Amino acid sequence: MTTLKNKPFSFLFASILFSNLANSIANISLIWLAYNKFNTPLIIAGVLGALQLPSLIIGPFLGGLLDKFQKTNLMIFANFVNALVFIFLIFNNLNTNNNVIIFILLLVISGSMKPLLMGGDSMVIQDIFPNSEERIPANALTTMSFDLTYIFGSMLSGVVIALGYGFKVYTLVGCLYLLVVGCLFVVKNNLNNHKINISKSEYGTFFSNFINALNVIFKNSELVIVLIMDFLWNMLLWAGLTVLLPVVVKVHLSYGAGAYGLLESMTSIGIVLGSFLIGQIRLKKNSLVFGVIGSIGLHGILFITLGLTYNLWVLVIGLIFIGIVVSPALIYKTTFYQQTFDDNSRGALFTIAGTMTSASYPIGIMITSLLSTYFSSKIGFIFVIYGLIITFISIIAIFNIRPKMVK
């Protein structure tokens, strides 16, 4: 792609790849560290909570920093904090209560940095590519990068196991985050960003940015529709699949971890294929919302089919098709946000959108876990209900935006 010939973007893309790789290994190693060191699942919950809760609670507010300071500087700082967690582990085996407390505090700080990264990449792409049509292949590549990393998740797990969850793996993750920092320095030096100095009297505008972001959202009906669709999409279909797929594999297919690993990677393979195709298409500006909603609606229809059969290879093909079908929603959603968000508060807007997505996933996990407990013998019923809900809402949303598209 010619997009990768753009030097700032090529280094930004490299930073995203290294970051996804580091995050994958980090999640595996931290969860294992928590359980292996303390032998209780409660510690796993504590580690995950320390990483996730800060971004959910302060995300929309902290995102305002992206509107006030140079984005690349904040992203560099956030990734350095991520590296610091593992640098601390290199020299510390958590053998005292004080060390454990320091470790948890570092995790909390690291978790609170996520909002700076959630919108930062998209905002930098905005700066690199002023034209929304140029952003589509860039967003396609960033979407592919996540799923490429996810596909190799099992291989990464093997790497972590081989390295022994200790000094070597912590060094590897720390170095990967430092590589991200290095790439972002190159991006920073190739962009003509201007730092906005803030006087003491302006610190109160962070909350004002949040309020302004909410005003921007509620004044744009298409934006409200996309945010709601994205929230429900993640809550029902993505979170639902996470809970339901292992149940289908174990209870209804009577297969083991190998089959589950195969099915788990199929959607990502489809997303990579779909993203490559979508990246070649220049969609008209006023068609982005239709592309997002239509893609989510088709996902709903295909999700229904997953509940109608328990054949392994039919599920493999179905999940690949789902990945191909949802790739437009993933890419066009980001492109739509980039062209719609107000320049004065886009950092807050990006992090509000990201926080909604992050919050919807655990809610969906909880709801689906409860339903699958009561309907364990009728898992297909949950697939059908979730798919019908998303399909029905998508149809309503399309009829709401059609008059604007005709104009």
- Check if the beta carbon of residue 19 is closer than 8 Å to that of residue 118: no
Residue 70 burial class via C-beta count within 10 angstroms: exposed 0-12, middle 13-18, buried 19 and up: middle
- Check if the beta carbon of residue 247 is closer than 8 Å to that of residue 376: yes
pLDDT for 390 equals 97
- State in Å, rounded, how far the first CA of the chain is from the last one: 33
Q: What is the CA radius of gyration of the chain?
A: 21
User: Could you write out the DSSP letters of every residue in 248-263?
Assistant: IIIIIS---HHHHHHH
Highest mean pLDDT among 18-27, 69-78, 88-97: 69-78
Residue 290: which of 384, 140, 387, 406 has the closest Cα?
Answer: 406
pLDDT for 196 equals 38
Q: How many CA atoms lie within 13 A of 348 on its CB side?
A: 21
Measured CA to CA, the distance from residue 138 to residue 251 in angstroms comes to 41
Residue 370 burial class via C-beta count within 10 angstroms: exposed 0-12, middle 13-18, buried 19 and up: exposed
- Which token pair is 83? 């590296």
Who's near 103: CB < 8 A, 6+ residues apart?
A: 85, 88, 89, 92, 94
Residue 375 has pLDDT above 80, yes or no: no
Number of other CB atoms surrounding residue 46 within 10 Å: 16
Residue 329 has pLDDT above 80, yes or no: yes
pLDDT for 406 equals 47
pLDDT for 111 equals 78
- Which token pair is 327? 């790739």
Q: What is the pLDDT of residues 206-265, one digit of tens each?
A: 566 667 777 878 888 889 999 999 999 999 999 899 888 888 887 778 877 667 777 878
Residue 391 has pLDDT above 90, yes or no: yes
Q: What is the pLDDT of residues 16-64, one digit of tens each?
A: 999 988 887 777 666 666 656 666 555 655 666 666 677 677 666 666 6
Q: What percentage of the chain carries pLDDT values higher than 70?
A: 78
Residue 403 has pLDDT above 60, yes or no: no
Average pLDDT, the chain: 80
Residue 193 has pLDDT above 80, yes or no: no
pLDDT for 145 equals 84
pLDDT for 197 equals 41
pLDDT for 52 equals 67
pLDDT for 202 equals 41
CA distance readout (Å), 14 to 145, 207, 219, 269, 285: 9, 33, 36, 20, 28
pLDDT for 123 equals 86
- Which token pair is 261? 């690993």
Predicted TM-score of the model (pTM): 0.80
- Which token pair is 281? 């298409």
Of 157-161, 183-187, 273-277, the one with minimum mean pLDDT is 157-161
